Structure 1
Amino acid sequence: MVQDFINKNFSRLLIFTLIFGVILYDTIGFDYTDELCSLLLFVLFLKYVFSTPHWEVNKMFLVTTAVFLFYLCYSFYIGSNSKAAIITDFVVQYKPYLGFFCVYAIKPVVSPTYKKLICEICIVLGIYLLGVGIAYQISPTNLNYISMHPSRLATSVSIISLLYLYCSDFTQRDKAIFILLMVVGLLSERSKFYGFFIICVAMILFVKPSFKFKLNIKNIILCSIVLALVLFFTYKKMNIYFISGGDFLGDDEKIQDSIARAALYFYAPDILSDYFPFGSGFGSYATYASSVYYSPLYNHYGMDGIYGLSKHFGSFIADTYYPALAQFGYVGICLFFLFWGNLALKALRSHKFAYKEALMALMIILFFMIECTTDSTITHNRGLFMMVLLGLLFSDIRHIVAQDKNKKILSSK
């Protein structure tokens, strides 16, 4: 059967992508692993579609694709950058959504055998990342030997922890192992990971199947405590990016990195106003393509003199994501948050029927909301993997909800 073929090959692709497209991605140095995995996933999607009687394609997938194609044509029309820059950025920005919708469409089921294998692999990789984290604590330069940045360590830990939780039986023991795996990420010393760690632990410990997402004293107190802890560990970075605007001088690279990010946030409103309502277009601002094919906007707004944003050294141009939404204007920003808000609402509504899946979906949505503040993870290899996992979760949610409806129909007869 076609579905059996898809299930087996998707599980194999998931393991391959985890090892070579996430954990060893920087060490190997092959920059197109995620593109290769995306292509293979798309092949599975095409096989599924052409095997269905009416060539079934999700409507939300078609709408999302139409939006991206509109912005592609718009970018060519206004000449946001060179054609190569526009096409490159289109592919990079579209890739994570393609991964999500392909998985959601093919409805893969990971067998118990593969789930057990993946859990074992995640534990082994967790031990490996623990060694990496300890080496980083001994001397930060140790990460140079495996070409890994501390932020990559943090996101890799998030991925193996969530994947383990998905493939586990979700017992108390499994939840404890999930938390222990997440603890490894604390060695990265990334403030955004501290925030994500606190949120995940709080959700695992306090959000039960009987939990009601509504305003009451208990929930307000719980959310206030979690928010206070998150702000405690992330306030310094939030102050730099959103309050002080990086308005200080320093020679330390971390400080210069912060100034570059703050500058990207600072000038984003100007771009939104000047290119109302659809933004400056693909390859024009705060993206990888706008760095490689240096965008004229940086010179126009006087940003080319900022360390990390210059033509000859643009390493920090794609170091965050939210400012890049200026490329899509106010309309694009609304569509971006509408997409994620829609997914969050779907997860919340299915919480009683698919507790584990809904909880994990909310975790991943929050992961992206946090990551987008100081990294463009969503457009990278790690973001693609998270989007694939998110697509898998929503595919499971759809199946569980459908089963529940069928049971109700049968019981009413």
Structure 2
Amino acid sequence: MENVFLSLFLLFVLFDNAIFNILSINGSGWTVIFTISLLMIFVIFMLFLPDRLKVTKLDLKVMILTTIIIIVGLLGNYFFNYTNSIQFIITDVIDFIKFPFCFIAIRSLNIDRSLAKSFINFGQYLVKIMIVIVFICGIISQFKDIGMTPNTRVWFGIHAYSFLFPHPTYFVLSCIFMLSLITSVNVKHLNIYVFILLISTLLGLRTKGAVIVVVFIVLKYCKNFFRQHRFFSWLGVFFATLIVGWSKLHEYLSYTGSAREAAYVNAWDILKKHFPIGSGFSTYASFLSGKAHSALYIDYPIPEGFDMYGLPTALLGDTGYPYYIAQFGIIGFLLFIVLLIDIYRILTQKKFALSSLVIFFYVVFALGSESSLLNFGVETAVILATVNYIENNYLVDDGVDKDE
């Protein structure tokens, strides 16, 4: 029964945005409840059952870095007071910790082991069924409008496919999660599920998706070299990203006065003028900061960030890195980079974890154009922790836990 329940939970994590889109409700609240609940459980274990926690030095370092960044952000709120609402500040703190804290907590509480076991024993079959359904619908949608290509983007006659998700970006992320899950249990060869997932990802017509497909293929077939030369794995991924994303980069550079350009330019200016701690939580480059009516937008407006009624639009959170640069300053942003490096070290401390790195590289690349860790922090933490446990602890292709 546990395998079924946890497998259904993983399926929910993969398709939560599609489910809420069908129901026409805002379902983001579940990630806040999940994060707070996990925080309470972790604190209880830390105080009363410390021996039951599995915390490595790198896990502890990520926790400390996360805490320091929170302190830096709160200092920005204290000294500059751009946002008066404690509620919005606390909400932004929770949004910020969704990924780093949940990832470490899931590992430390051994939840990753339970999720991995359930996926191996039952969940992978549910995911494979969904992979086939998604692919079939994607092919049909290219020839007949079945309501799964709402985005107007068309490349070479191919319509941007989003399945039941509200936007292709959500769909592509789900495909990447499924790709990592499937390859974590079967890495010896490219099976049919991996192949059709790569096709489905490309049907989303997102540059991020195309980059990850290239990164996956490069890492897959050059993993022995990259395993021995970790620096070149980063260099190879960088050049693969540059080649695939060059047209998109050129497009961004041509958008003079766009919301995304303004966010980056303003973020660096905010960093310099609020040296060294930044402007604080819920003050810039997020939808939440717009709801909080951050006074920082008076001096650093984002084009079309607010509609004609003064309500925030999604363009306020259309980038990831400016959020960290502006709100946490030079200290917080550098600590955030160190935090990402340490999570990379966690993922690869036992082996060259291909499936885990696919998700990690997506996150790093996607932060350039979306608030991926704010919007999908819990989902990323759950899937990444599960995938990494499978890669590091299971005898892949056999489904045997080496710890048992």
Aligned-CA RMSD value? 3.5
User: Shift of the alpha carbon at 1:346?
Assistant: 4.0
Match of 1:104 among 97, 103, 107: 107
Q: Distance in 1 between matches of 2:327 and 2:244?
A: 30
Please say if 1:123 is aligned against 2:128.
yes
In the alignment, which residue of structure 2 is the partner of 1:90? 93
TM-aligned CA distance change 1:26 to 1:71, over 3 Å:
farther
In the alignment, which residue of structure 1 is the partner of 2:304? 307
Q: Distance in 2 between matches of 1:52 and 1:397?
A: 28
Q: Distance in 2 between matches of 1:11 and 1:151?
A: 24
User: Shift of the alpha carbon at 1:42?
Assistant: 4.5
TM-aligned CA distance change 1:195 to 1:16, over 3 Å:
closer
Please say if 1:364 is aligned against 2:364.
no
Deviations 1:93-129 (A, max 9, x none): 1222221111111123246564242211212222333
One-letter code aligned to 2:72: Y
The answer to whether the Cα contact below 8 Å between 1:260 and 1:309 also exists between their aligned partners in 2 is: no
Please say if 1:18 is aligned against 2:14.
yes
One-letter code aligned to 1:38: T
In the alignment, which residue of structure 2 is the partner of 1:404? none
**Structure 1-normalised TM-score?**
0.77
For this pair of structures, how many residues does the alignment match?
369
One-letter code aligned to 2:373: I
5 Å matches for 1:346-365? 346-351=346-351, 355=352, 358-365=353-360
The answer to whether the Cα contact below 8 Å between 2:17 and 2:165 also exists between their aligned partners in 1 is: no
Please say if 1:386 is aligned against 2:386.
no
Which SS does the other structure have where 1:307 is aligned? coil
Pick 1 or 2: higher relative contact order, CA cutoff 8 A, min separation 6.
2
Which SS does the other structure have where 1:165 is aligned? helix
Q: Distance in 2 between matches of 1:56 and 1:239?
A: 48
The answer to whether the Cα contact below 8 Å between 1:25 and 1:33 also exists between their aligned partners in 2 is: no
Q: Distance in 1 between matches of 2:10 and 2:204?
A: 25
One-letter code aligned to 2:285: A
Please say if 1:339 is aligned against 2:339.
yes
Q: Distance in 2 between matches of 1:146 and 1:346?
A: 34
User: Shift of the alpha carbon at 1:146?
Assistant: 4.3
User: Shift of the alpha carbon at 1:161?
Assistant: 1.5
In the alignment, which residue of structure 2 is the partner of 1:66? 67
The answer to whether the Cα contact below 8 Å between 1:129 and 1:153 also exists between their aligned partners in 2 is: no
Q: Distance in 2 between matches of 1:22 and 1:291?
A: 22
Match of 1:238 among 230, 234, 249: 249
Match of 1:157 among 168, 171, 175: 175
Match of 2:369 among 366, 374, 378: 374
One-letter code aligned to 1:73: L
Which SS does the other structure have where 2:317 is aligned? coil
5 Å matches for 1:134-283? 134=139, 137=142, 142-143=148-149, 146=164, 148-166=166-184, 168-174=185-191, 177-208=193-224, 211-213=227-229, 229-241=240-252, 243-244=253-254, 246-247=255-256, 259-283=258-282
**Structure 2-normalised TM-score?**
0.78
Q: Distance in 2 between matches of 1:125 and 1:118?
A: 11
In the alignment, which residue of structure 1 is the partner of 2:158? none
Match of 2:31 among 29, 34, 45: 34
Structure 1, 89-98 or 383-392: larger mean CA deviation: 383-392
User: Shift of the alpha carbon at 1:131?
Assistant: 4.7
Q: Distance in 2 between matches of 1:198 and 1:379?
A: 25
Gaps of 5+ in 2: 151-162, 395-401
Deviations 1:337-362 (A, max 9, x none): 101112223444432xxx4xx22232
User: Shift of the alpha carbon at 1:85?
Assistant: 2.4
TM-aligned CA distance change 1:9 to 1:129, over 3 Å:
closer
Which SS does the other structure have where 1:286 is aligned? coil
One-letter code aligned to 1:164: I
Q: Distance in 2 between matches of 1:79 and 1:329?
A: 15
The answer to whether the Cα contact below 8 Å between 1:283 and 1:295 also exists between their aligned partners in 2 is: yes
One-letter code aligned to 1:282: F
One-letter code aligned to 1:384: V
Q: Distance in 2 between matches of 1:230 and 1:287?
A: 25
Q: Distance in 2 between matches of 1:295 and 1:271?
A: 13
Deviations 1:223-265 (A, max 9, x none): 66x6555334312321244x44x227xxxxxxxxxx2111111
TM-aligned CA distance change 1:95 to 1:184, over 3 Å:
same
The answer to whether the Cα contact below 8 Å between 2:20 and 2:26 also exists between their aligned partners in 1 is: yes
One-letter code aligned to 2:208: K
Which SS does the other structure have where 1:24 is aligned? helix
The answer to whether the Cα contact below 8 Å between 1:68 and 1:90 also exists between their aligned partners in 2 is: no
Q: Distance in 2 between matches of 1:399 and 1:48?
A: 24
Q: Distance in 1 between matches of 2:315 and 2:164?
A: 21
TM-aligned CA distance change 1:35 to 1:273, over 3 Å:
same
TM-aligned CA distance change 1:372 to 1:133, over 3 Å:
farther
